[in-house]
Amino acid sequence: ETGVTQTPRHLVMGMTNKKSLKCEQHLGHNAMYWYKQSAKKPLELMFVYNFKEQTENNSVPSRFSPECPNSSHLFLHLHTLQPEDSALYLCASRQGGGNEQFFGPGTRLTVL
Amino acid sequence: TQLLEQSPQFLSIQEGENLTVYCNSSSVFSSLQWYRQEPGEGPVLLVTVVTGGEVKKLKRLTFQFGDARKDSSLHITAAQPGDTGLYLCAGANYGGSQGNLIFGKGTKLSVKP
């Protein structure tokens, strides 16, 4: 695998379910990001991790819980989501010292 | 709050036509990136511009960074159906968190054969 991978690519869940999104980067980067992309809105930054430490939480509701066990892996744990949380969730990584971010293919999430 | 305004929001053209997409802000950015995103996929980095007035070319795509580092443009010559997608500009700011980007809403381009 190369670049940034995300699984699953598609997820349908009910409001009472618990699920997790996974991101893995094979680029040797040390910063990882979660973004939410909804129709007609700019990409919304959710969380930032640098060297496994969370450095930014952009006022995200607690029903989204990130986890970064190491610099290559990032998870987003989901529970009791709302239909308005349906969106494309994108993971990205960046090498420290640079500004360029490299994105995964995203997980299309639908909350029923 | 820093914002990046992209225009036009939607663009539908015929194959072979030229087009320009704009990305404007009142803020100064240390660098600016352009991405293309196809449906169901993540954004793919096309180019990064760093120096005010810089022009970069990528085959039929020409990117320019404004002299004041507040705006940028993307010009496509002789558009092809394969150019179809969502074009996003993203700025890295001096004063904010290092490495974090501000994204525009994007320009959705459709090139018809």
- Tens digit of each residue's pLDDT (9 = 90 or more) over B49-75: 999 999 999 999 999 999 999 999 999
- Give the gap in angstroms from C-alpha B1 to the nearest C-alpha of chain A: 14
User: Using CA atoms, how far apart are residues B94 and A5, in angstroms rounded to an integer?
Assistant: 30
| Closest-CA residue to A23 (of A111, A79, A112, A101) | A101
> Does the structure show a pLDDT above 80 at B103?
yes
pLDDT tens figures, B73-91:
999 999 999 999 999 999 9
Three-class DSSP category at B63:
strand
Q: How deeply is A70 buried, as exposed, middle or buried, from its count of CB atoms within 10 A (0-12, 13-18, 19+)? A: exposed
DSSP state of A47: E
Identify any residues that bridge with B93 across adjacent strands, giving them in sequence order.
B29
Q: Please check whether residue A25 is in contact with residue A72, taking contact to mean a CB–CB distance below 8 angstroms.
A: yes
Nearest to A42 among B33, B41, B105 (CB): B105
Q: pLDDT band for position B94 (50/70/90)?
A: low
Q: Which of A6, A31, A40 sits opposite B99 (nearest CB)?
A: A31
Q: Which residues pair with B85 in a beta bridge?
A: B109
Which residues does chain A have within 8 Å of residue B31's beta carbon, measured at their own beta carbons? 99
Would the CA dihedral through A26, B85, B1, B48 be positive or negative?
Answer: positive
**Which residue is listed with tokens 């039929």?**
B60
Task: Give yes or no for residue B96 having a pLDDT over 60.
Answer: no
What token pair was written down for B23?
């990305």
CA distance A67 to A82: 21
Could you please report the per-residue DSSP string of B28-53? -EEEEEEEEE-TTS--EEEEEE-STT
Q: Which residues 6+ apart lie within 8 Å of B59 measured at CB? A: none
Which residues of chain A, if any, have pLDDT below 50? none
**Interface contact B41-A106, CB threshold 8 A:** yes
pLDDT score for B3? 83
Any CB–CB contact under 8 A between B99 and chain A? yes
For residue A34, what pLDDT is reported?
96
pLDDT the model gives residue B95: 53
Closest CA relative to residue B29, chosen from B58, B49, B1, B44: B49
Residues of B whose CB is below 8 A from A103: 35, 42-44
Query: What is d(CA B63, CA B87) in angstroms, rounded to the nearest whole number?
Result: 12
Q: Which residues of B touch A6 (CB under 8 A)?
A: 42
Tokens for A66, please give them: 């990130």
pLDDT level of residue B1 (50, 70, 90 thresholds): low
